[in-house]
Amino acid sequence: MNLNEFQDDITTGIPATLPAKKAYETAINHAPKRKEILSPEEKILALKNALRYFPKDQHAELAQEFSDELEKHGRIYMYRFRPDYKMYARPINDYPGKSLQAKAIMLMIQNNLDYAVAQHPHELITYGGNGAVFQNWIQYRLTMKYLSEMEDDQTLVMYSGHPLGLFPSHKDAPRVVVTNGMMIPNYSKPDDWEKFNALGVTQYGQMTAGSYMYIGPQGIVHGTTITVLNGFRKIKKDPRGSLFVTSGLGGMSGAQPKAGTIAGCVTVCAEVNPKITRIRHEQGWVNEVFGNLDELVKRVREAQSGQEAVSIAYLGNVVDVWEKFDKENLHIDLGSDQTSLHNPWAGGYYPVGIDFETANKLMASDPEEFRSKVQQTLVRHADAINAHTAKGTYFFDYGNAFLLEASRAGADVMAANGIDFKYPSYVQDIMGPMCFDYGFGPFRWVCTSGKPEDLEKTDAIACAVLEEMKQRSPEEIQQQMADNIQWIKGAQENKLVVGSQARILYADAEGRMKIAAAFNEAISKGIIGPVVLGRDHHDVSGTDSPYRETSNIYDGSRFTADMAIQNVIGDSFRGATWVSIHNGGGVGWGEVINGGFGMLLDGSSDADRRLKSMLHWDVNNGIARRNWARNEGAIFAIKRAMEAEPKLKVTIPELVDEELLKGIK
């Protein structure tokens, strides 16, 4: 398909005549069949909801087709309407339209659905097993059409994948406002997602999937590298020759082996899905693949002895790895898990002793039996971890709800007080006190020209900014600055790009604003093309998640969601190009509220004004909240922020003498 045909397809939106049905491509990594949850009456409602996108003369043909999809897959994806063009992030000027900001959003949407990026591209699922960009292909088509028509005084409103429409606004308003899964609290249990998603009225946007800001496993590889490095620092162990064991290669978790290699250790990452294991190996995110445990043990011992920085995928269940290494007395230094346990009953975690395909069939045919086997596996998983930690392994929860679901399964993961988990979240021990409290988080950018040389130039610009800042940074953040400079210097050689020409770099508010301003200046001079800014929701202030991002909040407020809501409201009137707020993501539906943004830098004075206003708020909102929770690093950081910006005035907590309270009855 040539450029004109591509642009015509975008501007057409919903085809006037029905395209031919498409064959189901078995070579593609597909979402598992969803559980049978709708009543006969609700199935009729789901069909009515799907058919409302089409004229009545097409209903008769589509009704049976959509009914078949619902029966076979548990969802109506509208496969027939999948575009014929290749799905990837094109250069920004290839997109039709009147608004450069709207074109940037189209680019980011297509990047999310790129076959090299998306986990289940034909089901419009980017990562995490259920992190969707849209519910069906007509929503995609209609959204792209609206964006092609958008002007800079309009805003597109997105209701859980459905484009409600274009509304008049103004040039400083967001071009798109996204909500995903915003349920009434009493209807936010896992089965509620299954039901209302099957009805076609809500979706699980994960974090950056439904925010159009996913950049492949690179999206968390910097944070994962920081976590692994600081995990070894915490146990005072050199990564060289040390062993890190974890699981999960799909989506975000695919960053783990690459991060382990960058950190310099031996990494073993188990994955049950053969297709995603092959993809990660082909992409270079994992060095070697083994399917035999004896051979795996032999290779790990060899790598440890040679102090190799190597990543090894085990094609199979991670429980078998933990148990085998225990039996062989193979010492694990760091251990974790990054399977999608926010989604334990629909493909996020697989039972041990059952092959992948059989498990997928059981998931749909007998969901209660599947659930039982998953919980039995979680108990075994925890028991094997406990055996290793008794020998000195440092295990941390990676914020994927592993400990939460293991506790619900009755596993031995609770502390002696019966309230806390016996193992910390990585945010509690590492990312919270070392990064988030000081304002450091996963700043992202995408070079919309699609040129690798633009990405290389932005890397150099960012590095120069950080090196200048480090010279006058206080002692409290010198380590963070040094780690980030080392990261960006090695970004090119580590070949992190999957899909768009994107980068991630942990930076604080000052760093983000200065890097963004330097990018905008370079764009204005014609040195580079326009740049999209964003971040992971897994950040200082975008997410309220009591078992992950805000797990190091100890004043009792970690179960509140004011911060995430305030964050997205504040971003929307301070200049973000698009904003999003989601229920679910990372740790599960009903367990978290998280928000994100995107911002286009086009070299203009307007972009310079917006970036300074919005990025300052986007970070300092979270630092202020963490300060109020009495987090020591955040108190330091917000005081420093107030010294730099006289108009920032934040309430500082008074600290209470613990000895005084001991005598209170």
pLDDT in tens, 386-395: 999 999 999 9
Share of the chain above pLDDT 70, in %: 100
143: CB partners within 8 A, 6+ apart? 109, 134, 156, 158, 163
Share of the chain above pLDDT 90, in %: 81
Distance of alpha carbon 411 from alpha carbon 145, whole angstroms: 50
610: CB partners within 8 A, 6+ apart? 172, 574, 575, 576, 599
Q: Is 128 annotated to bind ligand?
A: yes
- Which pLDDT score, from 0 to 100, does residue 96 have? 98
Does residue 506 have a pLDDT over 80? yes
Choose the CATH number for 237-419 among 3.60.150.10, 3.40.50.10730, 3.40.50.1110, 3.30.70.20: 3.40.50.10730
Domains of the chain, by residue range, sit at 3-199, 237-419, 432-658
CA distances, 385 to each of 255, 388, 390, 531 (Å): 22, 5, 9, 44
Q: Is 375 annotated to bind ligand?
A: no
Q: Which residues of 345-382 are buried (b: 16+ CB within 10 A; e: fewer)?
A: bbbbbbbbebebeebbebbbeebeebbebbbbbbbbbb
- Which pLDDT score, from 0 to 100, does residue 586 have? 75
Residue with tokens 């920081």, as numbered in its chain: 226
Does residue 222 have a pLDDT over 90? no
CA distances, 478 to each of 223, 384, 441, 506, 624 (Å): 17, 38, 15, 13, 21
Q: Where do the H-state alpha helices sit in 471-600?
A: 478-489, 509-524, 562-574
Mean per-residue pLDDT, 570-597: 93
Mean per-residue pLDDT, 623-637: 97
Mean per-residue pLDDT, 453-467: 96
Tokens for 300?
A: 């790990």
516: CB partners within 8 A, 6+ apart? 533, 599, 601, 611, 615
Q: Is 586 annotated to bind ligand?
A: yes
Q: Is 129 annotated to bind ligand?
A: yes
Residues 190-217 have pLDDT tens digits of 899 999 999 999 999 998 999 999 987 7
Q: Name the superfamily (CATH) of residues 432-658.
A: Urocanase superfamily (3.40.1770.10)
SS3 97: coil
Q: Is 271 annotated to bind ligand?
A: yes
Distance of alpha carbon 577 from alpha carbon 99, whole angstroms: 11
Does residue 253 have a pLDDT over 80? no
CA distances, 558 to each of 561, 596, 629, 651, 654 (Å): 8, 19, 9, 19, 19
Distance of alpha carbon 619 from alpha carbon 528, whole angstroms: 26
Domain 237-419 identical in fold to domain 432-658: no
pTM score: 0.88
Does residue 252 have a pLDDT over 70? no
Beta strands in 461-620 (DSSP E): 502-507, 531-535, 543-544, 578-583, 593-601
